[in-house]
């Protein structure tokens, strides 16, 4: 199968990762795949690093002259590459691909929506999703229901496809666990709670820090330790460290910064935490934690209710509810083992092969 993956995302966020990882899986499986992105952006550079040979198009332009040139380049690409499928992972150029499809393009048009924002119920969106697109992919059930119930997309066009995990990279690593724990001074009796994610208000680092402080200072769990496996982006490290000091957990908290051995750091955790306040429509970090065999608790945002049992979820932004959930994970060993088994079982349908096979089946059906 010949596909064009349109990934006009500036940052290498979960949406960009979803499109790039799918492109890599398709190419590795022998499907000719053209990755289109924005020249010089994080996602474009990562595609180059992955050997995807990305093609640069000015897909986010609003200039009439540039739009005319873009339209010509899109038509030429379709003519020369002859794709069976064009898969748009962002909305900025989706209307142009929709127009090209309706102007006689001999390809199936797929719109994958991994964005946290629900599309507005207006005439352009209804035309694009109901008529221009041959299939619409949601990365979580909330988005799928919105397409069906609000935009009135025909149910047979809607597909919910979760992102897969590269299990060659993300799996439990016992030797890595011991090395990382020794490096951070963790003892055999220490219980490490870990959050994997960039420093950004959306990720809920502040709420987790104060929830762990509650466990340590007021609930008697003096063996709890906190690992923040991330680095500054929208939120600075200094701001995160100020929260740590305010909560009085400096001595039990580690900030890893950027590391290459992410799977080893995850393996060093005794339980993973997603404390996000919103978003998590793809939840790449959650999938990686689960792939490493760690029990995971989370707020109930985005795709998380699709991934975890209800008992492992709490309300977003509620520090006390998060602390209650963490306390259960720390104190209740049988429950923790049950949750770990549930995460392992869930991952049996979320591997990279499942991601690829489900996507290919959707392409064939579209």
In a shared domain, residues 329 and 360: no
Predicted local distance difference test score (pLDDT) of residue 92: 86
pTM for the whole structure: 0.94
Under-70 pLDDT residues of the chain: none
Residues 280 and 261 in one domain: yes
Does one domain contain both 49 and 152?
yes
Choose among 72, 68, 103, 84: nearest CA to 34: 84
Q: What is the DSSP letter of 5?
A: E
Specify the DSSP class assigned to residue 332.
-
Among 49, 29, 26, 25, which Cα is nearest to 37's? 49
* Residue whose C-alpha is closest to residue 167's, from 275, 290, 258: 290
Do 99 and 28 reside in the same domain of the chain?
yes
Answer whether residue 117 is part of any domain: yes
Domain that includes residue 127, residue range: 3-164+351-365
Backbone φ and ψ for 332, nearest 5 degrees, come out as -95, 90
My answer on whether 150 and 21 are in the same domain is: yes
169, part of any domain: no
User: Which residues does residue 226 pair with via DSSP β-bridges, in sequence order?
Assistant: 193, 253
Using the structure block, give the residue that is written with the tokens 């079982």.
345
* 116/282 Cα distance (integer angstroms): 9
Same domain, 233 and 342: yes
Query: Residue 116: its pLDDT value, please?
Result: 82
Greatest CA separation for the chain: 68
Q: Dihedral sign, CA of 226, 210, 251, 233? A: positive
Verify that 190 and 209 share a domain, yes or no.
yes
Predicted local confidence at residue 198, as pLDDT: 94
For residues 101 and 93, give the distance between their C-alpha atoms in angstroms, rounded to a whole number: 12
The predicted structure's pLDDT at residue 3: 98
Tell me how far CA of residue 308 lies from CA of 154, 212, 341, 344, in angstroms: 28, 21, 11, 11
- Return the pLDDT at 79: 95
Residues 6 or more apart from 209 whose CB is under 8 A from it? 226, 240, 243, 244, 247, 249, 253
Q: Per the domain annotation, does 12 fall within a domain?
A: yes
Note whether 47 and 91 are same-domain residues.
yes
Nearest to 312 by CA among 332, 322, 298: 298
- If asked whether residues 329 and 224 sit together in one domain, one would say yes
Is residue 214 within 8 Å of 320, Cβ to Cβ?
A: yes
User: Do 151 and 130 touch, CB atoms closer than 8 A?
Assistant: yes
The structure tokens listed for 277 are 């306040």
pLDDT value for 62: 87
Are the C-beta atoms of residues 350 and 165 closer than 8 Å to each other?
A: yes
Q: Are residues 154 and 232 in the same domain?
A: no
In a domain, residue 33? The reply is yes
DSSP letters of 92-156? TTHHHHHHHHHTT--SEEEEEE--SSPPP-SHHHHHIIIII-SEEEESSHHHHHHHHHTS---GG
pLDDT of res. 93: 85
* 42 falls within a domain: yes
Predicted pLDDT of residue 262: 98
What is d(CA 52, CA 22) in angstroms, rounded to the nearest whole number? 11
pLDDT at 42: 95
One domain, residues 323 and 193: yes
Q: Using one digit for the tens of pLDDT, what is the confidence trace for 127-150?
A: 999 999 999 999 999 999 999 999
Residue 346: name the closest of 203, 164, 173 by CA.
164
Is residue 279 within 8 A of residue 267, CB to CB? The reply is no
Cα(366)–Cα(134) distance, integer angstroms = 5
pLDDT of residue 117: 87
- Between helix 352-365 and helix 14-28 the angle, nearest 10°, is 80
- For residue 358, being part of any structural domain is answered with yes
Residues 321 and 358 in one domain: no
The domain total for the chain is 2
End-to-end CA distance of the chain: 13
For residue 123, give both structure tokens: 């005439």
| 3-state SS assignment for residue 244 | helix
Residue among 116, 98, 26, 62 nearest 358 (CA): 26
Could you give the C-alpha distances from 11 to 1, 43, 228, in angstroms and in order?
28, 6, 21
Q: What is the CATH number of the domain that holds 147?
A: 3.40.50.2000
> Residue 268 domain-assigned?
yes
In a domain, 228, yes or no: yes
């Amino acid at each position: 199968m010949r596909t064009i993956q349109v990934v006009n995302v500036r940052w290498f966020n979960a949406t960009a990762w979803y499109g790039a990882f799918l492109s890599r899986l398709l190419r590795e499986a022998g499907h000719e795949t053209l990755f289109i992105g924005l020249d010089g952006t994080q996602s474009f550079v990562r595609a180059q690093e992955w050997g995807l040979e990305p093609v640069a198009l000015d897909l986010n332009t609003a200039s009439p002259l540039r739009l005319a040139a873009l339209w010509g380049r899109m038509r030429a690409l379709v003519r020369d590459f002859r794709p069976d499928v064009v898969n748009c992972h962002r909305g900025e150029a989706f209307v142009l691909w929709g127009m090209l499809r309706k102007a006689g393009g001999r390809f199936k048009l797929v719109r994958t929506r991994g964005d946290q924002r629900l599309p507005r119920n207006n005439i352009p969106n209804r035309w694009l999703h109901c008529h221009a697109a041959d299939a619409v992919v949601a990365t979580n059930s909330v988005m799928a229901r919105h397409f069906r119930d609000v935009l009135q997309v025909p149910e047979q066009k809607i597909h919910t496809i979760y992102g897969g995990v590269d299990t060659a990279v993300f799996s439990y690593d016992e030797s890595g666990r011991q090395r990382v724990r020794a490096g951070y001074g963790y003892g055999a009796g220490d219980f490490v709670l870990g959050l994997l994610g960039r420093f950004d208000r959306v990720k809920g680092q502040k709420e987790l820090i104060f929830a762990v402080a509650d466990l340590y200072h007021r609930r008697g769990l003096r063996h709890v330790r906190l690992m923040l496996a991330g680095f500054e982006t929208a939120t600075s490290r200094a701001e995160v460290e100020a929260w740590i000091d305010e909560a009085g957990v400096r001595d039990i908290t580690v900030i890893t910064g950027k590391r290459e051995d992410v799977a080893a750091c995850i393996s060093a955790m005794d339980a993973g935490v997603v404390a996000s306040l919103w978003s998590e429509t793809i939840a790449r970090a959650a999938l990686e934690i689960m792939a490493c065999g760690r029990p995971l608790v989370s707020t109930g945002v985005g795709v998380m209710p699709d991934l975890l049992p209800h008992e492992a979820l709490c309300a977003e932004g509620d520090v006390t509810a998060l602390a209650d959930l963490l306390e259960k994970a720390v104190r209740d060993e049988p429950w923790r083992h049950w949750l770990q088994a549930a995460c392992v079982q869930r991952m049996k349908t979320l591997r990279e092969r499942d991601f690829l096979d489900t996507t290919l089946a959707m392409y064939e059906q579209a």
